[in-house]
Amino acid sequence: MKQTLVTAFALTTGILLSGCGTTEESTEKAPAATEEVDLTAETDAYKEFALEQMDEFVLDTEKFVTAVKAGDIEEAKKIYPIARMYFERSEPIAESFGDLDPRIDARLADIQEEGQGEEEWSGYHKIEYGLWVENTTEGYAEIADQLLKDAKELRARVETVEVSPDLMITGAVDLLNEVSTSKITGEEEIYSHTDLYDFKANIEGAEKIYEILKDQMVAKDQQLVDELETKFETINSLLAEYEDGNGGYISYEELTKEDTKSLSEAVNQLGEPLSMMGIVTE
């Protein structure tokens, strides 16, 4: 049976070739397989950036914890939004650790949504409540110590992360989505109203990913690069209007509905082209 099939195949092939007027092998080549784009340099650069941010996060968290344990409320309030910016910039990697991220960054509402009680709440936002609502650091020493331990553990674990182009691209979009949902409403920093610091850090985190991938994108779609340049410039210019003149930002409570609407529109207009950065992998 096998011999018959082979003979039949040979006869069919001969007929097809004679029908073309030649018995020579066809010169038409099959399309070459698409080579996978090598983005190793870019993923390495992003991991280096994340580690640098984590180093600074640990250092500022140490300063924050020292101030909290010393009862220096004003110093703790000063350090609080700056330290958190390092965390927010590198959140695409930080949030991959499902146990550490909530211990460091969960709001009370997040804890309650998970069916947990206030006694299980920890991290920066827990201490934020003490500083801005209770106006005290008493009773927060243990929480502060745990926060520092978690920050150091996070820094160590980031070393183990395998950064992929997808993590970067998805991460940039997620950073922007976070701005357009929880941050634009003011619910992220519900006690301190330092939302604009987080807002800026998320934008910077997304922009860093764009900058790392930019050279690869230029070869694919210069128009997209130009559009992203313009959109980032727009949102950064808007945020600059709310600087307090001392290297920080005004309270989010000072913004009008028109202000938040303008910021929201700028974020949404940036989001669409940012989601197209995946062209670098094609």
Rounded CA-CA distance 168/93 in Å is 9
- pLDDT of 235: 97
Instruction: Give 275's strand partners.
Output: none
The rounded percent of the chain whose pLDDT value lies above 70 is: 88
- pLDDT of 21: 44
Which H/E stretch holds residue 198?
A: helix 195-220
Cβ atoms within 10 Å, residue 133: 11
- pLDDT of 35: 58
- pLDDT of 54: 97
Report CA Rg, the chain.
27
Chain segment 62-83, per-residue pLDDT in tens: 999 999 999 999 999 999 999 9
28: left (phi over 0), alpha (psi -120 to 50) or beta: beta
- CATH code at 164-239+249-282: 1.20.1420.20
Helix 222-240, helix 195-220: angle, nearest 10 = 160
Cβ atoms within 10 Å, residue 47: 19
Work out the pLDDT band at 282, boundaries 50, 70, 90: confident
User: Considering only 23-27, 208-212, 246-250, 256-260, which range has the smallest mean pLDDT?
Assistant: 23-27
Average pLDDT value for residue range 105-116: 89
List the Cα angle 102/108/113 in 5-degree steps.
Answer: 80
Average model confidence (pLDDT) for the chain? 88
Average pLDDT value for residue range 1-27: 39
**What burial class does residue 3 get, using C-beta atoms within 10 Å of its C-beta: 0-12 exposed, 13-18 middle, 19+ buried?**
exposed
184 or 5: which leads in pLDDT: 184
The CATH T-level fold of domain 39-162 is: A middle domain of Talin 1 (1.20.1420)
Residue at token pair 């922009």: 207
180 — phi, psi (to 5°)? -75, -10
Work out the pLDDT band at 116, boundaries 50, 70, 90: confident
Rounded CA-CA distance 43/39 in Å is 6
Rounded CA-CA distance 17/183 in Å is 68
Chain segment 23-64, per-residue pLDDT in tens: 444 444 444 444 578 999 999 999 999 999 999 999 999 999
- pLDDT of 231: 97
Chain segment 147-202, per-residue pLDDT in tens: 999 999 999 999 999 999 999 999 999 999 989 887 899 999 999 999 999 999 99
Rounded CA-CA distance 65/110 in Å is 23
- pLDDT of 114: 82
Whether the predicted pLDDT of 16 surpasses 60: no
**Segments making up each domain of the chain, as ranges:** 39-162, 164-239+249-282
Q: Max CA-CA distance within the chain?
A: 94
Residue 233 tokens read as 């410039």
| Alpha carbon 94 to chain centroid, angstroms | 9
Rounded CA-CA distance 73/261 in Å is 33
Rounded CA-CA distance 33/185 in Å is 47
Asked if 39-162 and 164-239+249-282 have one fold, the answer is yes
DSSP state of 248: S
